Structure 1
Amino acid sequence: MLDASLPPIRLVLVAEDPLARGALSRVLSDRGGELVLLGAGTQVELESTRSEAPDVVLWDTGMRLQESEGRVELPDLGAPVLALVSDEAAGELALTAGARGLLFRDVGPGPLTSALSAVSQGLAVFDTGLADVRAAPRSAPAQARHAPGPETLTPREREVLALLAEGLSNKAIADRLGISEHTAKFHVNAVLSKLGVQRRTEAVVRAARMGLVTL
């Protein structure tokens, strides 16, 4: 049970299977004031029609997460992603794609709500049965991880990086892009992580050296 004094967690549900989407929507809606479901649909639908930024994304990967041309695309909805997976193989694919948390698809409503809360606050959450997946090396090549290029940043992250190069704050970035400050902070943190730095100035310097921005 979440602290009743805290505001409800705003989330969107990404699920390709309409039956799974309907079942999960009912479970989430039954959590009362703990959760607010902003929307539910397929990844394409939600990415093309998104409006209000959520606090967290719940991604049901289905019975079998398939790779598309050697990679799996994480839902890009401006919030950290908690993935529901059917097995360790799907968990590894989701984790490599950038999911912040992994749970099995048969997780109960209580643990699911707690995990959504934790991931929305930037924490990593793993089912105990997926501990080996958490410790396993990522399938992405080491060179790609240590030497990120333009293709590793989403279009939105490249926009944020350009605004970082202008010296803008998170609030200023949010105002410029018409997004919430929470979403801007999430994208800034994603840029720092992908560039392997901890400070905004370091990100700009590294990006300049890589030709991603012009100073």
Structure 2
Amino acid sequence: MLDASLSPLRLALVAEDPLARGALSRVLGDQGSELQLLASGTQVELETTRGEAPDVVLWDTGLRLADTETRVDAPDLGAPVLALVADDTAGELALGAGAKGLLFRDVSPGPLTAALYAVARGLAVFDPGLSELRASTKTAASISTATQGPDTLTPREREVLALLAEGLSNKAIADRLGISEHTAKFHVNAVLAKLGVQRRTEAVVRAARMGLVTL
């Protein structure tokens, strides 16, 4: 386990934008002996020129991660990844790509350093503004490790199921519950998985048969 009093945290910084990379390098450098920046560059550069293995990877996803049309993968440098994201859409993509923690790109140096240490120790770190994504991630993890079934539906998922029975779209569900559309999609997918169906209409029919909703 890392001990900040004994040795600095060895860090690799991945950012496609050179301006963002330079700004983050300065911020990290200002943390003194707490952090040791081993390497800084684009994802391709660092993955093709491997050096000393870092303890953690800081991945700035930029402003337009959600606009990409290709598969997104977190940097593969042999260490857990903390992603800096512009919004919850980018956060969803970064989580799906393999990031272990999420912070907004405007995070201040103190919380950023603390989060880097936490992720390096194997902990999950989420900005409070991304709490819905965090909850959805926990739900997805529980689906993969626990027995699925309607009894495992969370209160939020039961709300989503009731709105599915009303025929609402993900956007309408998000508006009704005051969450993002992407978080609503997470909850809908969790409901489908726990009911063992592939389509929304099948979920409603099965839920009605189980007495979970009234049509």
TM range (shorter): 0.5 to 0.7
Q: Structure 1: which amino acid aligns with 2:27?
A: V
Say which is worse superposed, 67-76 or 55-64, in terms of deviation: 67-76
Q: Structure 2: which amino acid aligns with 1:90?
A: A
Distance 1:94 1:7 in 2: 29
After TM superposition, the runs of 4+ consecutive aligned structure 1 residues lying more than 6 A away are none
Deviation at 1:6, TM superposition (A): 2.9
Which residue of 1 is the match for residue 22 of structure 2? 22
* SS across alignment from 1:36: strand
In structure 2, do the counterparts of structure 1 residues 42 and 117 end up closer, same or farther at CA, with 3 Å as the change threshold?
A: same
Deviations 1:15-56 (A, max 9, x none): 000000000000001110100000110000000011100000
CA contact (8 A) 1:13 1:41 kept: yes
Deviation at 1:67, TM superposition (A): 6.0
Q: Structure 2: which amino acid aligns with 1:80?
A: P
Q: Which runs of 5+ in 2 are unaligned?
A: 146-215
Identity, in percent, stands at 74
Distance 1:80 1:34 in 2: 18
Distance 1:18 1:90 in 2: 19
CA contact (8 A) 1:83 1:102 kept: yes
In structure 2, do the counterparts of structure 1 residues 42 and 125 end up closer, same or farther at CA, with 3 Å as the change threshold?
A: same
Deviation at 1:64, TM superposition (A): 1.7
Distance 2:47 2:102 in 1: 21
Which residue of 2 is the match for residue 39 of structure 1? 39
Deviations 1:53-81 (A, max 9, x none): 00000000001214655531110000000
Q: Structure 1: which amino acid aligns with 2:110?
A: G
Structure 2 residue 40 is matched with structure 1 residue 48: no
Structure 2 residue 125 is matched with structure 1 residue 125: yes
* SS across alignment from 1:122: coil
Distance 2:104 2:8 in 1: 23
TM (norm. structure 1) is: 0.61
Deviation at 1:5, TM superposition (A): 1.9
Count of paired positions = 141
In structure 2, do the counterparts of structure 1 residues 4 and 123 end up closer, same or farther at CA, with 3 Å as the change threshold?
A: closer
Q: Which runs of 5+ in 1 are unaligned?
A: 146-215
Distance 2:78 2:120 in 1: 11
